[in-house]
Amino acid sequence: MTAKKVFGIVLAGGEGKRLMPLTADRAKPAVPFAGGYRLVDFALSNLVNSGLRQVVVLTQYKSHSLDRHVSQTWRLSGLLGAYVASVPAQQRLGKRWFSGSADAILQSLNLLRDERPDIVVVVGADHVYRMDFNQMVEAHIESGAGVTVAAIRQPIALADQFGIIELDPKDPHRIAAFKEKPKNAVGLADSPGEVLASMGNYVFDAEVLIDAVQRDGEQPDSNHDMGGDIVPDFVARGDAAVYDLQRNQVPGATDRDRYYWRDVGTIESFFDAHQDLISALPVFNLYNRDWPIYSQQLNSPPAKFVRDGENAVGTAIDSIVSLGCVVSGGHLERSVLGPWVTVESGAKVVDSVVFERARIEDRATVQRAILDKDVVVESGATVGVDHDADRRRGFTVTDSGITVVGKGVVVTR
C-alpha cells in the first residue's frame, strides 16, 4: 500500500427491494451468492487483498445475518490495529436512521476522527468483481483531485442503466459531467460505442470527504446520496477524477474475466451473474488463487454424488456444488447449489440457483428458478415449469421467466 494511511468504508445499508423476496429477511449484501459466499464478501475481499487493514461495514436494513457474517467470517488478527467491523446505524445526530449513503458516512464521522486516515476508500456492498484498490489510491493521489470515481466501460446502448461519466476533453482523467441514466449519452473519444459507467466505488482525501458530507447534511433538498449528490458537487467544482477499470491489473486475472463487474441489484442480474460462473471458461473465475474471494468456511463434509436404490446415478453438468450437498440419483445442469442441498432420485435441477439446505425430492423438477434457503420441493412437484401455476402459489415470476421461491417454503404438487 501507499505510505498514506487508508481507511475503508463499505456501504451496506441498502434495502434491496428489487431483489425481493431474497431480501425479505436479510439485507441485500447478506444475500448468498455462488454457493458459499455472501455478496458483501466481494467488496471485503477486494479491500483486504488490496492491503487495507482497517475497514468498517455500515449496516442498517435487516442487518442481523449480515452483522453475524461479518463478525464470524472477517476476523483479522487485531495486531497493528487491523480489523473489519460491522457498524450499525447509531443515531448519533438525532433520533433518525440513515437517509442515504452520504448521510450514513455523516453519521459515522466518529470512525474517521478516531482513525485519522489520509485517504478513504468508499465502496458498495452488492457488486461482483475483482479490483486492486491500491492502484486506484495511487492514481487518486497522482490526480490531485478531491475524489476519484471508479468506472467501467459499458456499451453505449446500456447507458440509460447507469450513472455515466463524461470526460474533460483537455484532461481524460478528469470528469466534466456526471449524468444519471442518460438517454442520449456520448461515446468515448477512443471508443465511440462505449461509455464510462460509475462502479459506485470512490477514493477521497479524508478531510475533503468530511467537509463534503457535512455540507451535504445542511442541504434540506438533498437526497444525501454519494452518487447522486456528493460526486456531482465535486464534478461541478472541477475536483473529480475518473479511474478506468482498464487501468487496473489484478493478479491471476484471465483475459475472459479481467474487467468483469456486475451490479446484482435485480433478480435478472443476480441470476445472470450465476450463469457467468459455471462454464468451463467462466466469465467470472472464482478459482483465481492469486486474488481469492474469502468467506466463512463451514465445517461440512464434501459434496457427494451417489446412486439411488434403483441405481440411477447422481450427475452434474456445468454446475457448482457446495460442501455438504448430496445428489442421489438426481440430475443438475447449469445450476449452482449452496451448502447442504439434497437432490433425490429422478429430480432435475436445470438453469437454477439453490440456496442452503434446500431439498429437491424424488421426481421433482426445478427449472430456471431461484430457491431460497430451507425450501422443500416435494416429490413430483415443479418450480419454473408452469409460470401461471407458480404465480397462483404466490411465487415471484420475473418478466424474463425466472421463478423465485422465498425462504422455507414447501412446494407441493
Condensed to tens digits (0 to 9), the pLDDT of residues 310-352 reads 667 889 999 999 999 999 999 999 999 999 999 999 999 999 9
The structural domains of the chain, with segments of one domain joined by +, span 6-275, 304-411
What per-residue confidence (pLDDT) applies to 225? Answer: 85
Which residues, in sequence order, are CB contacts of 89 under 8 Å at separation 6+? 13, 58, 59, 60, 97, 98, 104, 107
Q: Does the annotation flag 95 for ligand binding?
A: no
Condensed to tens digits (0 to 9), the pLDDT of residues 30-87 reads 999 999 999 999 999 999 999 999 999 999 888 888 999 999 888 887 767 889 999 8
Condensed to tens digits (0 to 9), the pLDDT of residues 163-207 reads 899 998 888 899 999 988 888 888 998 899 999 999 999 999 999
Amino acid at 137: V
Q: Does the annotation flag 115 for ligand binding?
A: no
CA distance 390 to 380: 15
Condensed to tens digits (0 to 9), the pLDDT of residues 163-173 reads 899 998 888 89
Cα four-point dihedral sign 326, 332, 338, 341 = negative
Greater confidence, 98 or 10? Answer: 10
Q: 322-340: string of b/e by CB count within 10 Å (b at 16+)?
A: bbbbbbbbbbbbbbbbbbb
What per-residue confidence (pLDDT) applies to 218? Answer: 86
Q: Are 191 and 162 in contact (CB under 8 A)?
A: no
Q: How many beta carbons lie within 10 A of that of residue 133, not counting itself?
A: 27
What per-residue confidence (pLDDT) applies to 92? Answer: 66
117-145: average pLDDT: 95
Q: Are 39 and 125 in contact (CB under 8 A)?
A: yes
Greater confidence, 80 or 383? Answer: 383
Q: Which CATH architecture has domain 6-275?
A: Alpha-Beta Complex (3.90)
What per-residue confidence (pLDDT) applies to 312? Answer: 76
Q: What is the 3-state secondary structure (H, E, C) of 152-207?
A: EEEEHHHHHHCEEEEEECCEEEEEEEEEECCCCCCCECCECCEEEEEEEEEEEEHH
What per-residue confidence (pLDDT) applies to 234? Answer: 93
Indicate the pairing of strand 127-129 with strand 261-263: antiparallel
Q: Does the annotation flag 373 for ligand binding?
A: no
Q: Does the annotation flag 300 for ligand binding?
A: no
Which residues, in sequence order, are CB contacts of 114 under 8 Å at separation 6+? none
What per-residue confidence (pLDDT) applies to 94? Answer: 64
| Secondary structure class of 333 (helix, strand, coil) | strand
CA distance 44 to 33: 14
What per-residue confidence (pLDDT) applies to 3? Answer: 80
Q: Which CATH architecture has domain 304-411?
A: 3 Solenoid (2.160)
What per-residue confidence (pLDDT) applies to 335? Answer: 97
359 — pLDDT class (breaks 50, 70, 90): very high
Mean pLDDT of the chain: 91
pLDDT at 111 over 70: yes
Q: What is the DSSP letter of 302?
A: P
104-114: average pLDDT: 91
2 — pLDDT class (breaks 50, 70, 90): low
Torsion of CA 323, 326, 332, 338, to 10 degrees: -30
What per-residue confidence (pLDDT) applies to 209? Answer: 96
Q: In the chain, what is the straight-line distance between the N-terminal and C-terminal CA atoms, in Å?
A: 57
Q: Partners of 203 in the beta sheet?
A: 121, 148
Condensed to tens digits (0 to 9), the pLDDT of residues 251-298 reads 999 888 889 999 898 999 999 999 999 988 889 999 999 999 999 877
